[in-house]
Amino acid sequence: MELVTLTDAQKKSRRGRNIALGVVLFGLVAIFYIVTLIKFSNGMVQ
Amino acid sequence: MRPALSDNRNGTNMRVIDNHEAIGTEGGARLSEASARDFFELLKPRVMSLVVFTALAGMVMAPGHINPFIGFIAILCIAVGAGASGALNMWYDADIDAVMTRTAKRPIPAGKILPREALSFGLTLSAFSVCILGIVVNWLSAGLLAFTIFFYVVIYTMWLKRSTPQNIVIGGAAGAFPPMIGWACVTNGIAIESIVLFLITFLWTPAHFWALALFKMRDYGAVGVPMLPNVSGEATTKTQIVIYAVLTAIIGVVPAALGFSSLVYGAFAAALGLGFIWYSIGVHRMPEGDEKMVPAKKLFAFSILYLFAIFSALMVDHLIATLWLTAGKVA
Average per-residue pLDDT for chain B = 89
Average per-residue pLDDT for chain A = 87
The shortest CB-CB distance from A6 to any of B13, B31, B35 is to B31
Neighbour tally for B149: CB within 10 Å: 25
- Nearest CA of chain B to the CA of A23: how many Å? 11
**Lowest mean per-residue pLDDT among A2-11, A27-36, B71-80:** A2-11
Could you tell me if B15 lies within 8 Å of chain A, comparing CB atoms? yes
Chain B residues close to A7, C-beta within 8 Å: 19-20, 23, 33
What is residue B4's predicted lDDT score, i.e. its pLDDT? 39
What is residue A4's predicted lDDT score, i.e. its pLDDT? 79
pLDDT in tens, B89-118: 999 999 999 998 888 999 999 999 999 999
Residues B270, B316: Cα–Cα separation, whole Å = 16
Residues B137, B56: Cα–Cα separation, whole Å = 14
The pLDDT confidence band at residue B233, using thresholds 50, 70 and 90, is: very high
- Nearest CA of chain B to the CA of A45: how many Å? 14
Contact B19 A34 (CB under 8 A): no
Sequence-distant (6+) residues with CB within 8 A of B29 are A4, B1, B17, B19, B22
Enumerate residues 131 to 170 of chain B having a beta carbon within 8 A of any beta carbon in chain A.
132, 136
Residues B281, B82: Cα–Cα separation, whole Å = 32
Could you tell me if B12 lies within 8 Å of chain A, comparing CB atoms? yes
Enter the pTM of the model: 0.86
**CB B90, CB B120: distance < 8 Å:** no
Contact A7 B15 (CB under 8 A): no
What is residue B23's predicted lDDT score, i.e. its pLDDT? 42
Residues B307, B127: Cα–Cα separation, whole Å = 29
pLDDT in tens, B12-36: 455 544 444 344 444 445 677 888 8
Could you tell me if B33 lies within 8 Å of chain A, comparing CB atoms? yes
Residues A34, B299: Cα–Cα separation, whole Å = 44
Comparing B259 with A4, the larger pLDDT belongs to B259
Residues B315, B319: Cα–Cα separation, whole Å = 6
What is the signed CA dihedral for A43, B55, B96, B299, rounded to 10 degrees?
180
pLDDT score of B6 more than 50: no
What is residue B331's predicted lDDT score, i.e. its pLDDT? 67
pLDDT score of A8 more than 90: no
Sequence-distant (6+) residues with CB within 8 A of B69 are A34, A35, A38
Exposure of B52 in the CB half-sphere (CA atoms within 13 A): 15
The pLDDT confidence band at residue B153, using thresholds 50, 70 and 90, is: very high
